[in-house]
């Protein structure tokens, strides 16, 4: 087992604070925030899709944790997912629910593609 990585973050409200990083954390922390806003973030993964204008990424996601949050639920490790309304922090159940909803939506997209093909054939 390796020793935890230690970083010093310069916070607005507490000055320099030394914190241990979990093994999955990239070790990059934003300076100048309040301590409660300090976040551990892991590598992100995203779905790259091809569209007419080129490739674009959607559904950025990665492990995150706010260890000094005033909300105890935010202190737990979650997966942060970028959705249409911003970043959402999901636990394992929420992430599985999102994945299931994406599977259902993929079926709807396939149905819509078939409908479009039918419309195009009828021109």
pLDDT tens-place string over residues 19-57:
999 999 999 999 999 999 999 999 999 999 999 999 999
Strands 15-21 and 40-41, bridge-based pairing: unpaired
Residue that is written with structure tokens 């970028």 in the block: 82
Residues spanned by the domain of 15:
5-90
- Same structural domain for residues 65 and 104? no
Q: Which tokens belong to 96? A: 């599985």
- Same structural domain for residues 74 and 116? no
The pLDDT assigned to 8 comes to: 95
pLDDT at 3 over 90: no
Q: What predicted TM-score, i.e. pTM, was given to this entire model?
A: 0.84
- Same structural domain for residues 77 and 114? no
Stretch (H or E) spanning 49:
strand 45-51
Rounded to the nearest integer, the mean pLDDT of the chain is: 94
Put residue 96 in one of left, alpha, beta given phi > 0 → left and psi -120 to 50 → alpha. alpha
Residue that is written with structure tokens 């093909």 in the block: 117
The pLDDT assigned to 122 comes to: 87
């Amino acid at each position: 087992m390796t020793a935890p990585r230690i970083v010093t973050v310069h916070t607005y409200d507490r000055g320099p604070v030394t914190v241990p990083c979990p093994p999955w954390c990239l070790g990059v922390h934003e300076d100048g925030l309040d301590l409660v806003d300090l976040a551990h973030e892991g590598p992100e993964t995203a779905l790259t899709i091809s569209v007419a204008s080129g490739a674009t990424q959607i559904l950025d996601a990665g492990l995150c944790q706010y260890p000094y949050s005033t909300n105890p639920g935010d202190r737990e490790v979650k997966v942060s997912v970028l959705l249409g309304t911003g970043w959402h922090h999901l636990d394992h159940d929420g992430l599985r629910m999102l994945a299931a909803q994406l599977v259902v939506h993929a079926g709807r997209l396939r149905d819509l593609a078939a409908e479009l093909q039918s419309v195009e054939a009828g021109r």
